[in-house]
Chain A
Amino acid sequence: MSAVLKLDGLAKSFPVGKRLLGAPRGLVHAVQPVDLVVAQGETLGIVGESGCGKSTLARMLVGLLPPSEGTIEINGAPLDNADPAEFGKKIQYVFQDPISSLNPRKTIRQVMEAPLKRLHGLDRAQREKRISEIFASVNLREEFLDRYPHEFSGGQAQRIGIARALAAEAKILILDEPVSALDVSVQAQVLNLLADLKAKLGLTYLFISHDLAVVEAVSDRVAVLYFGSVVEVGRAEDIFRAPRHPYTQLLARSAPVVGRALSAPEGKETELPDPLNPPAGCAFKARCPRATEECGQRVPKLEGDAAHRVACFHPLEG
């Protein structure tokens, strides 16, 4: 399988304490340099808790945020200008909140026409035809086209969001928590639709979520993010069953599972480290039962074979 998306040292830091002129007072490293390769037709899941940098990473990938460092390559060609219109044809984004990602004062037809007109320059008849095709593929009725966003349920709105992303004809979709705003019964419909579209159109997905079970159910591989860094990457069926990074293990144990007794896997106060004042060494060491002196001195690198990589000095036996 060939790599369609390659991230090389992609990082983002935000200045804090901005001044009108001159340098800011400090930098927050929202995403530490990330190297990831996504193969053609693959679904790469990205999990992490709030504040771990998932959404910042996603926004960089579609050009909504210019990266501070590093490069993004699509099919071997670097994308270095942060112009969403350039990105738009190659990589598209499906938003978390389906309703607020639709302009309340535009009809669905206007929403659908924008990418066809601006990215592909189709004329009216061609647009009409494309919209029918896309709507058929996401199981939406064409009578919806002349309605406004507030008339739709969350599941329908999310399907419209997916339809809009498909209209750009990008082969890579970034799905940023695409089902977390939906009810469970609707969530399954959307997840199945995404799987069908992927098979039919040969798409590649980056599936970002905080829900481990959902990520496991849809992904080929999963990357676990903690405090802006990838701490573990591995096959979806292995990573939560046999985690190697202590943080992945903590996540897997915390997820409520039917038939498992209730116990807090962690006694102490658990908070992400302060981004303004990041700890030296491994960011997880304060919460880690296996931490040693070494963990406080150096930052562990993501190491291992192609199938499973982990950034830990004392990994668990997988």
Chain B
Amino acid sequence: MNNKAIKSIYPFVLLVALSSLYEIIFIYFLKSDSDDWSMVYLLLEFSTLLYVFTKNSQKFFRIISFIFFIVFIGFFYHFKVIKTEIYTLQSDGYLSLIEFLYVILFSLFWFVSVFKRTEEDSLLKLPFFYFIVGLLVYFSGTIFLFLFSEEIIQEGLSLYEYWVVNLILVLFFRILLIVSIWKGRAT
């Protein structure tokens, strides 16, 4: 079970690795437009999370995942294709909110499913637990940042001051990702 769970996060890990590389080369050095990238990244991030969650859940949660998929795609289409006049940061915030709710819901379902199983192993021994904690903390800590990004800019505040929250939580999440993969390989 552990092995299967850890393998399912590989696409997400690959996305994280590729996005880091892309952001350094194209956005930091070549100064490409980050709006298009953030749009693609959000879509890919949601897809990989959808993959992880459906691979590690029961039929009931797969139905919920399908509903979230429809809602996410619907909003994505609305913001990125129909209502293109909406600011990117604002639309990204709404899409992040859907992702956040999806992550919270899956985490709760996963915790409940762990308690239902009769295994006596501590959660700290499960590699997937670190992934879930990382996701939960990252999405909980950044949801206000993503929702208020546009407002922060509109009010003339420096977004970089607030973006530090994202940087710290990204670091925290990636450390937990490493722990998760490392523990997964060890078992």
Decide if A and B are genuine partners.
no
Q: Which residues of B come within 8 Å of A, CB atoms?
A: none
